[in-house]
Structure 1
Amino acid sequence: MAKVKITQVRSTINRPKKQKATIKALGLGRINKSVEKENTPQIAGMIRKVQHLIAVEELG
């Protein structure tokens, strides 16, 4: 599977609890923090739910 680099670019202040939990589950929590994850269907679904708070980059 391809890897993706996920970077949080917006704050979770005033966001629903589910979105905050999804950001935490992805391993994020601070603006400009990045993590690398395998692009599985589960991760892709999490990315879609909080796509307005993160930036995603494919890593080949």
Structure 2
Amino acid sequence: MKYYHCTQYRSSIRVSHTQRKVLKSLGLGKLGNSKVLPACPSVLGMIHKVEHLVRMKIC
């Protein structure tokens, strides 16, 4: 199974409330936080919604 290593590198101050909820559900929320997430369709959709705030690497 593929995994993505996501790190938040931009602040969520001037983003919409729904994008903040997506960051929270991904386990992020503060600058520099990282998570290893599975590459399932729901997670990929959430990452696509906040792709301007996170950096991804394939593990």
Unaligned runs of 5+ in 2: none
Name the SS of the counterpart of 2:4 in structure 1.
strand
Seq. identity, %: 36
Q: Matched residue pairs, number?
A: 59
- 1:7 corresponds to 2:29: no
Q: Distance in 1 between matches of 2:10 and 2:3?
A: 22
- 1:29 corresponds to 2:29: yes
Length-normalised TM-score, structure 1: 0.95
- Give the aligned partner of residue 40 of structure 2: 40
Unaligned runs of 5+ in 1: none
What is the CA deviation profile of residues 16-55 of structure 1, one whole-angstrom value per residue up to 9, with x for unaligned ones? 0000000000000111110001110000000100000000
Length-normalised TM-score, structure 2: 0.96
Question: 1:14, CA displacement in angstroms?
Answer: 1.6
What is the root-mean-square deviation in Å for CA atoms of aligned residues? 0.5
Name the SS of the counterpart of 1:22 in structure 2.
helix
